[in-house]
Structures are given as structure tokens and as C-alpha cells.
Amino acid sequence: MTKQKEFWNIRAKSFPGHRDGDTYQAKMMEIMENHSVRLEGANVIDLGCGSGAYTIRMAEKAGKVTALDISDVMLGAVRKSAEERGLTNIEYVNADWAEYSPSGKFDLIFTSLTPAVKDEASVDKIKEYAGRWVVNISFAGPMTAYVLDGLFELHGIERGKSKLEPVMRNWLEKNSVPFSVYPVQGEWVTPRSRRDMIDNCRDVVEAHGANPDMDGIEKYIERFRDEETGMYISKTAYNVEMIIWEV
């Protein structure tokens, strides 16, 4: 747990948080709400909330949102975004899901690409505290992060395989629980300033336990510079699925 916390605390320094507008998160929220998941007045937990890309959107509609994450730095980013928007209905919990003891059930348990949903025990606990809906976004196939491929090669970091094991889907099928699934494919596009791109690359390398080659990074990122805008474009091809089930 300590190593995981350290990893995500480092990543949090340059991790993308909530963004307004027509984003990937907005699209996923639309899918969820079109499935009749109702946020208005609901008691929600964002399990493994990260820097709050979904937390903020849900808090704008829900009665209360519990933002749970192993990284206190990630939670600090959520708090900052909430304060900027005047949101006061978020409870911040710095804990691992396995160790957290909720005081009651949640109308909605929401998870997105989080290592907290790692085994049957973690899904058993979700079932225990789910009051009505469970929404889980997980990997459905390999992801290609174009900046990371070369960055890892530059630093001799072995690229770990994405955790594609469909933990929740397997649990639902094993327990004969009906669910709906929505596959979503596309590309995340994140424009960054030169300084932000350098910082992000440095943080990724440090989080993987290597020493950043800053001169090498500064040369490497130039291939991602957009000539028209001067911004540095990070792209990730994703293949995910949203699973929704009612208790």
C-alpha cells in the first residue's frame, strides 16, 4: 500500500483533473445517465477518484459525494477543484477501499480504471455497500500511450501490461447478476505547455523508480509539438467498457 501511495502521489503532481466542456468524462457520464442512473440528490462514492475528473461532475448534481483515494495529493487536487467551483458536498477520504469502513450504503458506487477493483473481495464489498447502482469503467483492450512508449524506452523502463482482467464482469457472471455493458473506444488528446509536458514526463519516470534524463526528455518531447499552436500533444488510444448493474 505504501508503494502504491507513493506512486500515485508522484503521478498526482501532473495528473489531469476536472475539465469543463465536451470531454471523455462528459461522454461517459452521458452514457451513465442515459441508462437512467440518477444523480440528483444521490449519495455517491467515487471509488479511486484520482484527481476528481468524475467527482466534480457528480458533485454538481448529487446530494453528497465521497471522494476516496489512496493518494492524499490526488485528494488535494479534488479539493482545489471543488473550492474553485464552490462545491461543499464532497467528503474526502484518504484510504484504500479494502480498509475503508463506510457508515452506510451508497445510492451509487462509481469506479473508473482504478486498481481498487482488483479481486472478488473488492467486488464483494462493493455489493455490500451498494444501495442501488454500481457503475464500473474498466479496460477492455490494450491502450497505447504514444508519449510513454518512447519515454520508457529512453529510460530503460519495462512497460507493464495493462491490467485487462475483467474482475467485475467475471464476478457478475459468476454470481448470475444481470448487467449492461457499453464499449467505448477513442483517443484521449491532452495539449500541454512545454513546461507541463516536461513535468509530466519527469513525474512518470520518477513514479516508476527511475531517474529522469532531463536533457533527453527535453529533446524527446519536441516530436509531439504542434507547429500551429506550439502546444505539446499527448495522445492515448483507449479501449474501455462501462458496466452498469442495479442491486
Domain boundaries in the chain?
2-142+161-186+237-246
pLDDT of residue 212: 96
pLDDT of residue 29: 94
Q: Give pLDDT < 50 ranges for the chain.
A: 162
pLDDT of residue 194: 96
* 3-state per-residue secondary structure call for 57-69: HHHCCCCEEEEEE
Name 167's Cβ contacts closer than 8 Å, sequence gap at least 6. 117, 118, 119, 120, 122, 123, 138
Q: Which three cell numbers stand for residue 83?
A: 473550492
Give 174-177's long-range contacts (Cβ < 8 A, gap of 24+).
Answer: 177/245
CATH of the domain spanning 2-142+161-186+237-246: 3.40.50.150
pLDDT of residue 89: 98
pLDDT of residue 31: 95
Q: How many Cβ atoms from other residues are within 10 Å of residue 40's Cβ? A: 8
What are φ and ψ of residue 244, in 5° steps? -125, 130
Q: Which three cell numbers stand for residue 130?
A: 451498494
pLDDT of residue 163: 57
pLDDT of residue 193: 95
Query: What pTM value is reported for the model?
Result: 0.88
